[in-house]
Amino acid sequence: MIADVIGLGARGPLGLSTLQLTLGVRAHKKEPRSLRQRDRFGQEIGICFVGGLHPSLHGRRRLEALAAPALTEAVMDARARTEVADDYAIPIVLALPSPGRPDDEDELGDKLIAGIREHSGLAIDVGRSMVVRRDQPGFAHALLLGAEILAGGAPLVAVGGVDSYFHPEVLTWLDSTYRLASLKAVKGFIPGEGAAFIVLGRSKNKLASLTRVDIAEEKSDLDEDEPNIGLALTALLAQASERLGDHGWVINDCNGERHRRTEFDLAGLRTLVYDTHVDSWVDDLGDVGAASGALFSAIAIKLWQLECGHAKNAVITLASELGDRGLVAWQNEAFSEGHPS
Amino acid sequence: MKPLATSPRQKQSPAVRQARLARDVVEEILLGVKMLPRRVDRPKIVQAFESTLIALTDLAASSLDKSDHLDLLTEARGRLAGARAVLASHDEGTRVTTMLERLRAVERALELSREATIDALVFVQSDVLNAELARRGLERLPEPEAFGVSFGVPRLFALERDALRANVDVAAPSHYIFDEELGAIHDPGDTTEAFDSRIELDPEEDTLDHDDDAVVRRLTLLGGDDLEHPGMVSGVAGELAHLERIARDCMEEIGMLSNMRRLRDHERFRWPAIQRFEQRILNDLDALLAMATPFYSCVGHEARVRGVDVLDAVLRYSRDSPAIHEGRAFARAFVLGCVAGEDTVRALVLALKQSHPQTHAAQARALSIAKNPAIDAAMRALTTDEDPRLVALALDVLDARADGDTVTALQLLEHPHPDIRARAARALGTSRDRDAALAALQPTLDEEIEDQVWVAAVEAAIMLRSAEGVRLARERLAEALEEPEILGAATRTRLMQVLAVTGGAQDGELLAELYLGDRDAATALGFAGHVQHVDVLLDAISPPTVFAGPGQLAAAADALVRITGAPMQRVRHDGDRDFYDVHTDHERWNAWWDDNRKRFDPKLRYRFGEPWSPIATIDELLRDEVPHGLRKLLALELDLTLGRRTIHLSHLAAAQERSLGRARASLGDDFEPGAWPRL
């Protein structure tokens, strides 16, 4: 076991707290809304957005507004479960989109952490905080860094992710490569946005345990001549299976893009048993990019807390367009099979 | 803490009693505001009534040991006078005059309670002081309840919220009102009820609908623009608007799915599919109420905001329907009925009273499964309503909730409306005081002329383990052999079913004589389980068949399988046999019966080839793919043979499964396999 989960905080298109979001996902309340912005086919672009943020709020300021309340919720939750002082300055490790996107800016990480601190009013240990800019698998990297901070003596660390595709130039960029789902591009994805944090530490009053984090590289993703047959993801799932037993519950980040689904299906065919419960919450939330790992983790742990998790182990698979693959495994020792999910 | 014997809490204040009555009356008067002419100042009236209701609620929640008890009484009386003055400023004819008279009467009653209250206060004064000190020492603030979710059945949610008060629709109707006369109890399937247009019209008003809201609604439909989506407004307003949108989705799905939950008689009950389907409704309920929980706002700085006012939202949702909408009415009753508090139940009852009768059945279904325990008392109170449709609804809900209160039923046995009398009689069948219930039913059994009431009384008597009930059913059926016109088809079928599941070996002949090839009678024969009926049923499927309709042949063949358990099921396209789809080929049947006749003992009662016991009935109810119509008959069989209400088919599948499991476990060795029911 790597660390205990002490607190959760999340917000996304289906709710503004972990509870709301989780039950919104459980009830499949997905509802993409149309924007005035149109795609290359002249159709309105659909997006799953988070309420309370003006359409003109883009980029770093939008990420701040998404992340700050999620972090506040997670820290308040952790304070209620531990005896850490209220003025303890918590270090944060944050997964962000890879550099080079149209909404990128210089020193995004530093500015964002400072902005989150200012926006939330929380005591944040800026010196030990850091960001990981590797899209979805960035959350796996962030957890490893968070575990190092804990090993260095910090009682708590908040590991999270935030992302938003609600940006005119980002949407244009996605459209230019046919990645937006529409009536004429059905294999694209519906963009979303969100943020989540998991506060890690050590406590008897834990919500779950972080049991495994693995990272790999899918080399075929970077080589156009090489077919992607999911070797890296297969290896990640197989290794985790050896350690954790059968995967009772796997949450993927498949977003509707054909190559992502094919890769997961191939890896799943080789490694998952027939009754593995597989969730694809992008179907409910839209693609939440670098926030995926943290959001899915928060939702899975909340489902356990509400006694409607699907298995003792929850394994989250994460993939980026740049060859990175990540796997995160959580465990709820108190899980019982008693309830229908 | 164990209450002291002399605790002042045990002596109720006369003012409290009066306040509770006054609140009911004021709410009723408020419901009447909708029918006043358009020109009356509704907001002003509502405001006056709302403050009155708040004052009355505070007084009703108070007690003799509260230091401000008399002040609350004074306040309530003052508010009543204020409401009366506001109403009196509208000189609007007889309707307002009647309202004023009722308000004055309430005010007077409250004033009269003052002296009695003062006497009571003097009487308990020393106890009040002692109890106050003891309570302060022991008082603990309640822990906030963790948010849980629903599994199989809804949860009772405790929300951080303000009390609901006087949330009724007083908007003037467009150009019609519902019939105010006491009409027939409405069949929920009947959509042809005409509206009565005898509204008290204001001659200066145009009767056409110029409602501003309606105009806005039409414009929204035509010109929706998602960029103007209220969720995109910055800050808390946008956040709440966004959550409201999700909440709305949840409410819509609850309403829509509730409409799809009903089964027709021929439709199959598929346990896993129905449980998954019902869980979707519960997931929506959970998600909806989660939207009411607090969250940290994007405005930052640890700002924690209370979530959507879901209760207000669901009341609005049910009101802004452009048409009569059963789903919305279900959603309102179900959601309000699953939130803890007496105010939620008061609100749902007020809304129920204002709702269209066509939505009553949907609301009854919702209230039958909703979790708030205050619904029981509210339904008991509703049985005194002057509208028989509401009384019937309340009795249906009480029956489904297994309320166990039969005092109400006793009072309604002489109700002028036969539908009410029938429900009251049926309710008495579950009475714990067997002798008193049977004594109360006797006049109905002796003198009732309405068949449906009499049959309900017969069934109730059987539930109470009276042989008289079976004897009466037998006698009436025997009379019908001589004079068929004395029984309507529905009554005849029902009595045959009753005799089939509760009669003895001696009833085989009578049932066989009553069988004229019709479907329902064949089904009754199948349930009776007499071996001698096999030849009768074989004749029915053998040429020349007098009744050659495929439904009649199939019913006879089904009955044969029900008695003999012969493997005559047809094979489906997927290769499995459909238990409830049976061959009617007479040659095949006759050959099978010739080979198997000897293994049946004519002295025993059979079910699917095995000696019957109630376990067979329970197991069939637990079986997958049983047609709904058959499940109704199985439930009747179980009730009448066990003498208690075992399962209610309006309940959610998870609750039904639990009830059947309990019933099965409780049976023990009480029933000898193959024995006829003994009363």
pLDDT tens per residue across span B640-669: 999 999 999 999 999 999 999 999 999 877
Joined together, the tokens standing for residue B171 give: 């908007």
A51–B231 C-beta distance less than 8 A = yes
Return all residues near B460 (Cβ < 8 A) that are at least 6 apart.
B425, B426, B427, B428, B429, B437, B441, B469
pLDDT at site B98: 87
A33–B238 C-beta distance less than 8 A = no
A339 and chain B: CB distance < 8 Å anywhere?
yes
- Residue percentage of chain B with pLDDT more than 90: 58
pLDDT band (50, 70, 90) for residue B64: confident
pLDDT at site A60: 95
pLDDT at site B36: 84
Helix (H) or strand (E) holding A37: strand A33-38
User: pLDDT of B168-182, one tens digit each?
Assistant: 777 776 544 444 434
Could you tell me what percentage of chain A is helix, strand and coil, using 3-state DSSP and rounding each to the nearest 5?
A: 35, 25, 40
pLDDT band (50, 70, 90) for residue A190: very high
Average pLDDT over residues A297-315: 95
pLDDT higher than threshold 90 for residue A28:
yes
Average pLDDT, chain A: 93
Using an 8 Å CB-CB cutoff, list chain A residues near B300.
65, 68-69, 72, 119-121
Average pLDDT over residues B417-431: 95
CB atoms within 10 A of CB B336: 30
At B433, phi and psi to the nearest 5? -90, 85
A322 and chain B: CB distance < 8 Å anywhere?
no
pLDDT higher than threshold 90 for residue B43:
no
B148–A15 C-beta distance less than 8 A = no
Label the pairing between strands B577-582 and B569-571. antiparallel
Average pLDDT over residues A310-327: 95
A14–B231 C-beta distance less than 8 A = no
B284–A306 C-beta distance less than 8 A = no
User: pLDDT of A49-67, one tens digit each?
Assistant: 999 998 889 999 999 999 9
Option in A44, A50, A53 nearest B234 (CB)? A53
Average pLDDT over residues B286-293: 97
- Residue percentage of chain A with pLDDT more than 90: 79
pLDDT at site A146: 98
- Cβ-in-10-Å burial (0-12, 13-18, 19+) of B321 comes to middle
pLDDT higher than threshold 80 for residue A243:
no
If you write DSSP's letter for every residue of A150-189 in order, what string do you get? HHTT-SEEEEEEEEE---HHHHHHHHHTT-B-BTTBTTSB
Lowest mean pLDDT of B67-76, B161-170, B445-454, name the range.
Answer: B161-170
CB A313 within 8 A of CB A251: no
pLDDT higher than threshold 90 for residue B221:
no
pLDDT higher than threshold 80 for residue B209:
no
What's at A338, amino acid-wise? G
pLDDT higher than threshold 80 for residue A69:
yes
Q: Which residue of B has its CA nearest to A44?
A: B226
Could you tell me what percentage of chain B is helix, strand and coil, using 3-state DSSP and rounding each to the nearest 5?
A: 60, 5, 35
Distance, in angstroms, between A32 CA and closest chain B CA?
Answer: 10
pLDDT at site A172: 95
Average pLDDT over residues B42-61: 88
Residue B442 to residue B461: CA distance in whole angstroms: 9
Residue A53 to residue B550: CA distance in whole angstroms: 64
Among candidate residues B502, B498, B566, the one with its CA nearest the CA of residue B534:
B566
Option in A27, A73, A121 nearest B284 (CB)? A27
pLDDT band (50, 70, 90) for residue A336: confident
Contacting A residues, span 289-308, partner chain B, CB-CB under 8 Å: 306-308
Label the pairing between strands A92-96 and A130-133. parallel
What's at B45, amino acid-wise? I
Option in A28, A35, A57 nearest B227 (CB)? A35
Joined together, the tokens standing for residue B613 give: 């016991």
Average pLDDT over residues B98-116: 87
Residue B282 to residue B284: CA distance in whole angstroms: 5
pLDDT at site B134: 53
pLDDT at site B202: 39
CA angle B308–B234–B306, rounded 5-degree value: 25
Distance, in angstroms, between B235 CA and closest chain A CA?
Answer: 5
If you write DSSP's letter for every residue of B547-588 in order, what string do you get? S--HHHHHHHHHHHHHHH--S-EEEPTTS-EEEEEE---HHH
pLDDT at site B226: 44
Option in B148, B238, B240 nearest A53 (CB)? B238
pLDDT band (50, 70, 90) for residue B112: confident
More confident residue, B404 or B17: B17
Among candidate residues B663, B640, B614, the one with its CA nearest the CA of residue B465:
B640
pLDDT band (50, 70, 90) for residue B50: confident
Check the CA dihedral B343-B345-B351-B354 and report its sign. negative
pLDDT band (50, 70, 90) for residue B610: very high
pLDDT at site B173: 65
B301–A120 C-beta distance less than 8 A = yes
Distance, in angstroms, between B299 CA and closest chain A CA?
Answer: 7
Option in B148, B226, B307 nearest A34 (CB)? B226
Average pLDDT over residues B330-357: 94
Residue B543 to residue B546: CA distance in whole angstroms: 8
pLDDT at site A86: 85
pLDDT at site B412: 94
Residue A66 to residue A61: CA distance in whole angstroms: 9
pLDDT at site A339: 55
Joined together, the tokens standing for residue A238 give: 């197989």
Average pLDDT, chain B: 85
Distance, in angstroms, between A324 CA and closest chain B CA?
Answer: 31
If you write DSSP's letter for every residue of B48-103 in order, what string do you get? HHHHHHHHHHHHHH--TTSTTHHHHHHHHHHHHHHHHHHHHTS---HHHHHHHHHH
**A90 pairs with which residues across the strands?**
A124
Residue B94 to residue A136: CA distance in whole angstroms: 71
pLDDT band (50, 70, 90) for residue B346: very high
Residue B173 to residue B211: CA distance in whole angstroms: 10
pLDDT band (50, 70, 90) for residue B474: very high
Average pLDDT over residues B485-507: 95
Option in A26, A33, A49 nearest B283 (CB)? A26
Among candidate residues B661, B538, B535, B533, the one with its CA nearest the CA of residue B152:
B661
pLDDT at site B406: 78
Print burial letters for B14-34: b (CB count within 10 Å at least 16), e (below 16).
bbbebbebbbeebbebbbebe
Average pLDDT over residues B385-407: 90
Residue B76 to residue B60: CA distance in whole angstroms: 10
A121–B300 C-beta distance less than 8 A = yes
Among candidate residues B525, B588, B591, B595, the one with its CA nearest the CA of residue B560:
B525
pLDDT at site B587: 94
Joined together, the tokens standing for residue B261 give: 């939950």
pLDDT at site B232: 78
A307–B149 C-beta distance less than 8 A = yes
User: pLDDT of B185-207, one tens digit each?
Assistant: 544 433 333 333 223 333 343 33
pLDDT higher than threshold 70 for residue B345:
yes
pLDDT higher than threshold 90 for residue B123:
no
User: pLDDT of B512-563, one tens digit each?
Assistant: 999 988 999 999 999 999 999 999 999 999 887 665 677 889 999 999 999 9
Using an 8 Å CB-CB cutoff, list chain B residues near A122.
302
Count of A-B CB contacts under 8 Å: 141
User: At which residue do the structure tokens 């944090």 appear?
Assistant: A197
pLDDT higher than threshold 70 for residue B8:
no
Average pLDDT over residues B90-100: 81
User: At which residue do the structure tokens 């009930």 appear?
Assistant: B469
Contacting A residues, span 31-50, partner chain B, CB-CB under 8 Å: 31, 33-36, 44, 49-50
Q: Which residue of B has its CA nearest to A37?
A: B227
At B578, phi and psi to the nearest 5? -90, 115
Average pLDDT over residues B583-611: 96
CB B315 within 8 A of CB B331: no
Average pLDDT over residues A292-316: 96
CB A304 within 8 A of CB A332: yes
pLDDT higher than threshold 60 for residue B3:
no
Average pLDDT over residues B362-388: 95
A262 and chain B: CB distance < 8 Å anywhere?
no
Distance, in angstroms, between A197 CA and closest chain B CA?
Answer: 13
Distance, in angstroms, between A300 CA and closest chain B CA?
Answer: 15
Using an 8 Å CB-CB cutoff, list chain A residues near B232.
49, 51, 53-55
Average pLDDT over residues B581-599: 95
CB B247 within 8 A of CB B288: yes
Using an 8 Å CB-CB cutoff, list chain A residues near B241.
51
Option in A23, A33, A51 nearest B226 (CB)? A33
Residue B149 to residue B154: CA distance in whole angstroms: 8
Contacting A residues, span 91-150, partner chain B, CB-CB under 8 Å: 119-122
Q: Which residue of A has its CA nearest to B229?
A: A33
pLDDT band (50, 70, 90) for residue A228: confident
pLDDT at site B166: 65
pLDDT higher than threshold 50 for residue A208:
yes
More confident residue, B299 or B534: B534
User: pLDDT of A101-129, one tens digit each?
Assistant: 999 999 999 999 999 999 999 999 999 99
